[in-house]
Amino acid sequence: MELNAALEEIGRAESLEALQALKVRYLGRNGLLTQAMKALGQLSPEERRERGRSLNEWKERLERALEAREATLKEQALQKRLEEEAVDVTLPGLAFPSGGLHLTSLILGELLRIFRRMGFSAVEGPEVESEFFNFDALNMPEWHPARDMQDTFWVEFKGEPSFTIQGPFGEEVNSLGGAVLRTHTSGMQIRYMIRHTPPFRIVVPGRVFRYEETDASHEAMFHQLEGLVVGEGITMADLKGAIAELARGLFGKEGRVRFQPTFFPFVEPGVQFAMWWPERERWLELGGAGMVHPYLFRVVDDYRERLGLPRVYQGMTGWAFGMGVERLAILRYGIPDIRYFYQNRLSFLRQFKG
């Protein structure tokens, strides 16, 4: 065995595996050095001492060479990894697109916050509604001209068990009727009253649908916010106070309201209300409202009776309102076309990130 050749070989090993093989070859149990050590027994004592000393020295030098080479290889491997996995912190970063609420959600959230402050709870109802809740129970019988104003999507629907209720002129009205995509959120007034005992204050946000020819100011789908307050001794003054509070919530201290008489079948008297927009010095026509028509209370009590619930609406009064959510946004931000809302055009929507 040639020591210098071995040392050189170790110094040239290119990998830890190769190095390990050399270690086995020289120092392993059957390694060359080990064999040479074993052969010592055949030598004379003098030769043995001499040879033994030099073998020990070889062993030590080989071990040191192996250790040194191992350290070098490990160091090289680390350097290589550091280079390969290096991150250039000076490169420009990747921008994460951040989401935001849709304009409609922002406005709805604002409206709900204002009403929550006044003690209202928010409830939701079905978007596919029965003809009875959407029309009949709201004092809009089949032949009523007010129905024409709400072009309707009718939905095919298999009948469920139903009963009849006396209509406004004593006629029999089916408590279910056909199914429609609700044309307004007012049907929830009836649904809520049937299941709850006054007093209460609710608002109902939701999507509504009309069979419209769409243009800049008409969409087949939009949102409304409905309100309903029922209790003993509730008056038109409470309605005015609440809408005025809404105006202050939306437009600040200077917010004012204007009521003008109008007709809706489910209120008497009925009004349309507008809000003063101080910044632009103009009125915004926002929705309809009025005192709940006594017919609604009668129908609700009849319905409750059919469900085995007590009649609780006699002697109650209440008010309701309904307003368009997109309409508020359109007026406030001067949006020229309602169709912008639901075209998912980000350049439009991003302007209103909450």
Q: Which is nearer to ligand DAH, 268 or 337 (CB)?
A: 268
Phi, psi of 340, rounded to the nearest 5 degrees: -60, -30
Give the integer Cα–Cα distance in Å for 275 and 101: 25
Tokens linked to 135: 């029309």
DSSP secondary structure string for all residues of 127-189: SEEEHHHHTGGGT--TT-HHHHTS---EE--------EEE-TTS-EEESS--EEE-SSSTHHH
Q: Which is nearer to ligand DAH, 55 or 208 (CB)?
A: 208
Phi, psi of 153, rounded to the nearest 5 degrees: -90, 115
Q: Which of 103, 97, 96, 95 is nearest to 344 (CA)?
A: 103
Q: Is the dihedral of CA 197, 203, 204, 209 positive or negative?
A: positive
The DSSP symbol for 344 reads T
Q: How far is the CB of 118 from ligand DAH (least distance, A)?
A: 16
Q: Which is nearer to ligand DAH, 58 or 321 (CB)?
A: 321
Q: Which is nearer to ligand DAH, 133 or 264 (CB)?
A: 264
Give the integer Cα–Cα distance in Å for 183 and 138: 12
CA dist 315 to 45, 83, 198, 229, 301, Å?
128, 84, 11, 14, 12
Q: How far is the CB of 323 from ligand DAH (least distance, A)?
A: 7
Q: How far is the CB of 158 from ligand DAH (least distance, A)?
A: 27
Q: Which of 125, 240, 139, 237 is nearest to 184 (CA)?
A: 125
DSSP percent split of the chain into helix, strand, coil, nearest 5: 45, 20, 35
Q: How far is the CB of 273 from ligand DAH (least distance, A)?
A: 9
> Among all residues, whose Cβ is closest to ligand DAH?
322
Q: How far is the CB of 103 from ligand DAH (least distance, A)?
A: 20
Q: How far is the CB of 270 from ligand DAH (least distance, A)?
A: 6
Q: How far is the CB of 138 from ligand DAH (least distance, A)?
A: 8
Strand, helix or coil for residue 298: helix
Q: Which is nearer to ligand DAH, 205 or 288 (CB)?
A: 288
Q: Which is nearer to ligand DAH, 55 or 320 (CB)?
A: 320
Q: Which of 151, 156, 135, 155 is nearest to 220 (CA)?
A: 151
Tokens linked to 27: 């120092």
Q: How far is the CB of 299 from ligand DAH (least distance, A)?
A: 15
Q: Which is nearer to ligand DAH, 55 or 271 (CB)?
A: 271
Q: What angle do CA 120, 124, 127 make, to 5 degrees?
A: 150
Q: By the criterion CB under 6 A, which residues form the site for ligand DAH? A: 184, 186, 226, 264, 267, 288-290, 320-322
Phi-psi sector, 224: left (phi>0), alpha (psi -120 to 50), beta? beta
Q: Which is nearer to ligand DAH, 65 or 296 (CB)?
A: 296
Q: Which is nearer to ligand DAH, 140 or 165 (CB)?
A: 140
Q: How far is the CB of 184 from ligand DAH (least distance, A)?
A: 3
